[in-house]
Structure 1
Amino acid sequence: MRNLFSRQSGATGTEARVSGEMEARERLALLDQFEQAALGWFWATDADNHLIYLSSSAASQLGRAQGELLGTSLSAMFLPDSSDEDGLEARPLAFQFSARNSISDMPVRLAVDGGEIWWSISARPQIDGEGNFLGYRGSAKDITAVRQSQRDASRLAQYDSLTGLANRHRMTKRLTATLTAYKSAKRSCALLMLDLDRFKAVNDTLGHPAGDELLKQVAQRLERIVGTRGEIGRLGGDEFQIMLPDIDDRGRLGEIANSVIQMVSQPYSLDGSRAIIGTSVGIAIAPYDGIETDELVSSADLALYAAKGGGRGQYRFFSSELKDGARLRRQIEEDLRDAIQTDQLELHFQPIVRASDHTVTCLEALVRWNHPERGFISPGEFVPVAEETNLINALGEWVMRRACMDAMQWPEPLRVAVNVSAIQFSGTDVPKVVRTALDRSGLDPARLELEITESVFLGDPEGTGRMLKDLKKMGVRLALDDFGTGYSSLGYLSSAPLDKIKIDRSFVNGLTEDENNNAAIITAIVSLAGALKMETVAEGVEALDELATITELGASHVQGYVFSKALDQSGLIERLETGGLKFEPHGPARHRADRRSTYRRVGVIHGDHRYDVVMKNLSKSGAGIEGMLDVPLDTPLVLDLGGGQLVVSRVVRSEGYAQGLEFEQNLISDGADGLCTRHRISPYALASAGMPLAALPPGSYLPAMTPDAPRSKPQFLQVDLSHANKAA
């Protein structure tokens, strides 16, 4: 090998020869020192690229003897570079060798016992005077430390340092690359957005180290659910994102979202403390809900907002109607600020009746909003907006003050029950708000009952306990609302100074149906309350058979339409003055199962014709429609529910202009109180039919037939029932 680096001298004579030999010895000694110091190494190959020389110190680093490595194919010594996580690999070393290119500072990876190392190699091909390739002569140096530092820096730029999940930058990059590649391959990709409910309470009460530990545990749970099916990212704070390639089945996505919600909602152990949080999930699917990254992320964000507005702990699929809903929520937020100041709000009061003698003992205050332009707006619309925008504190104070003032005008000294939201409970000095309302109205504290939910105990149980005791010292009563639907714990029931437990309407609904376990659950709640000397209120009682069963099970009080709907202040005063405190039950004799009734126009496709009909009811397995005359039984029809949702069905009942349809495949839950199809028309299919590739627009948009295409005669007469339905 030394001859490879020796230089021929053109000098003649003894002195020149001696001088040249001395210079060669010095150069070789210098190279020996360089190799032995492991500052770098030299190597050479023959024409077949097999090693004919490698510095002994280099062989030692590989754990091999120098002679053992000679004859080894150079390219076979190096491992493929797996560090390119985006799949963009440079040309392999074998190609460079076969092309006989010069190599400059190329990083290569080598396996050693217990791990791997990295070298940077440089080399030039050797050609003789006749143009024959003789092999490579080159150098190498160890760059393992530098490479690891580069990898660490790259990972910090792409991954969240706390949880180890991908960060926002990487998720955006990966989603963009995936959507771009999937357009040409006509593949789908689902995106789930989620954030944590009540995470701020954990940070505020247990400290940021506990909050960090909680985020780590959430990340671990998400990884167990998702596995290798997709990629999870933490976008910052308590926001997470899950990308699931090649899934467009909304039934399967709903199951995954439910698993996420249930797993995240399980208790956490944080340095000896126990915390319970929740999550909401928004789901969007490419290409149906967005083609580009920004569009898909925006759709998933809107779906997440809808999930949180629906009561939290829920999932929602994106639909085009959510864009209108987002604009409406912004308008509600602006108008609600004015409504609180200008007394557009009012209170209605629903009686809570003693089960034994049907005498009203308390009235629950329910806020109503009569908008000057839009009319009455449901609390289900504006209360979630108030909670999201921190208007809930101002709204809660207004309700508290107004309820106390209204109660002072009643002809009987009945109690008034006021709901206090968990956000209001944790964000304001509730005892101060209550004291102010009592002082201004002059109401006896014993006539005020505060209804709280189980979620107030989740963030800071000790602080909540102190606040409840302060309220009890004032003389007000405390009731636990919606019992059994949250995160029930016998611990706080035994320690909190509660006077009443309200049994959620979900346990009352279906109580009298066969094979229903709600009666056993209610019996247990009533027994527990009795042992703790608390009253019980069964909410949502609507039928006489439900009332009889509830009374038999021992609930002390009843609330629901079976006695009265909520009355405005003037109507309540008139009722109390003329009818007294006794309320007679009324309503249907028996509970009727919920029917998903709907009156909306949809399309029905038969052959190459489309009919506009009215859908009157919808279930998972079928629908009732009106608008086509004398359709034979077993006629195949396709029901167009809009938004790309086509349902293959057949007629199983037909009477005049009304038909009953049975679906070929059941519908699934849309995450809200509705139904949807598992699959939709693919935008790729629409594009192949001549439409531009885009997310599905709202409404019906089956590709139109060309003008000269032959059409068959319609087989059914369409009937316009719009006037009849309005009259009904």
Structure 2
Amino acid sequence: MNVSGSYNLWLVSLSVFIAVTAAYTSFSFASRITSTSGKVRLLWLGGGAVAMGAGIWSMHFIGMLAYRMSFPVHYDVRITVLSLLMAILVSGFALRMTSLPRIGPASLLVAGTLMGLGIGAMHYTGMMAMKMPMSIRYDPFLVFLSILIAVSASTAALWVVSTLRSDKAIADLPKKFLSALIMGAAISGMHYTGMAAARFPLKMSGTSLQNSSDAWLAVTIGLASFMILAIGLILSLVDSHLATRTAGLVGSLKAANEKLHYLALHDGLTRLPNRTLLEDRVDQAVRHARSGDGTFSVFFLDVDRFKPINDSLGHSTGDKVLQQMASRLSAAVGPEDTVARIGGDEFVIVFPEKKDPGKVHEIARRIRDCVAESMEVDGQSLSVTTSIGISLFPHDGTTFRTLLANADSAMYYAKSKGPGQIQFYSGEMNDSAALRIEMENDLRRGIEKEEFVLYYQPKVSLATGEVESVEALVRWNHPEKGILPPHYFIPRAEETGLIIPLGRWIMDRACREAVIWHQAGFPRLRVAVNLSALQFINQDLVREILTALERSGLSPECLELEITESLLMQDPDAAMRTLSGIREKGVHVAIDDFGTGYSSFSYLKKFPLDRLKIDRSFITDICDNPNDAAIVRTIITLGHNLNLKVIAEGVESQAQLEMLKTMECDAYQGFYNSRPLPPGELAERLKEMRILKTPLPDEDTT
């Protein structure tokens, strides 16, 4: 006769809960083991084995405590501890298998079988620890079934864990929890099948001696196991979170480093290679050419008159022009060629393949024509040209610096011949390039140290002989070369854009010195200042004029600005807006060098102007050349019909002066009256001459 017993459903539920928790925790430990290495991996393997083994063992032990019988049951401590160690060992084996890089079907079956046998051994060893009045007998079929369940459950668990090893799968909580439920149910099924296999034959009778503290013992073991599993799970989740954050930070740092590396080698505006990457490409081309006794070419490109575009239309438009030019240059070359932007509006192209000079020149023409095609920028149609200088390896240099410098020299030589020119390098260009660099550096220093001075030439009324105004003419008081005339430095100042700060200084100084003459007794003396093209298209021109007037205290009607007609005709609509803004402030405007360029009279009559200045080239031969005389007479008539005063410049003789009087010219200036004088000498000269001290007929004195 066998003794029958019953299960405490609360403890059964607790055992199943522990089994599910142990399965869920094992998945988390498996992911940490596979994602770590070295000593950290061994720590996770050891800790995981203890936590998982304790959880499985607790499930079995609580399951045995849940079975209530009518006789006393005690447990052998040594055998119980042995079963616990077996559970830990089996768990360690399982976690070790799941941490392998790859588990094949055969390996999975062998590992599952060994793990199932280990769990079975742990279970039946735990049963051996029970001390009671009779010996336990087992149903062979149920024992076999329990082992089969253990093997099947272990194999399934190993397979599930292997499929959940990726970070994405581990993060799939529903799938992970469902797998834990299945695995926990399988472990519980194995245990309770094994318990069903046990037979307890009756050897003695008596009343129930079941210790009522067994339930408390089960609960205590369950809570302890659950806490171990919970702590292990929390540590695993925290470590996984930290690992994920670390991986994210590492990924972000890697991406940032890659971006920084890219930015360090590429231009931020056009995304083309910059000077650093260009140097590397040229060095590669040098090594390749030397190994094969070859040659290659370097193009240096500069956008012609880019600064006026930048200053008149704004830097945003200028940037878009450069971006479109970069796209055109990239599309015009092959994949093996390098297009780089090395600063401002300067581009360099390296053609590493060997080509004869005729082919190189043909490529340069194609690139020039490609750039010259009209482009749409912010709704405006713009056309730009580029000057191209070319150097060849090894004829023009064998290093990056030499090849680039010589291509740069060739480009400047091409630019000096006009826009859109192409020039191969020759040795004579180095001298002019060195002079340009020296001139630019001297100009910058001269502007900073105010080495410039203003000379003034009077403008005299032909009707009254009175001085109406004086024209400010800049000179450079060079510390080594002495007084230098404008033609020596003005072209370079315009080319480099230094004419903007220089023109600002001229405007400010002329206004200040005019005020000094007013205070000295010449209150109506007007000062005329020439504007360059870059100054005229400068968006801040009107503001700079007003600033100069405010600083000096000069009245606006005592300032006159001289502008060339060719400058007005470049963009008549923009010129109209600028001139209107200037005239609204009361400043006078004159057209300088009139007759030397192409003018549209339909536009000219609309411009808010005050005076026309006849270029000196027409005055020089006015007495001997009837054509020049006819041109001067026509200009004077035209000016008067447009209600403009006409001034002749370059008058050097009494005969010229008398002829201008007969043509009813309004005023003149030139060496016949006075050469340009520094401020001190001009003051003395003005004392000797009749100075206009009343308002001019065309001036508004209100």
Q: Per residue, is there more helix in 1 or in 2? A: 2
Q: Per residue, is there more strand in 1 or in 2? A: 1
- Mark yes or no: TM-score above 0.5: no
TM-score, normalised to structure 1's length? 0.43
TM-score, normalised to structure 2's length? 0.44
Structure number with larger C-alpha Rg:
2
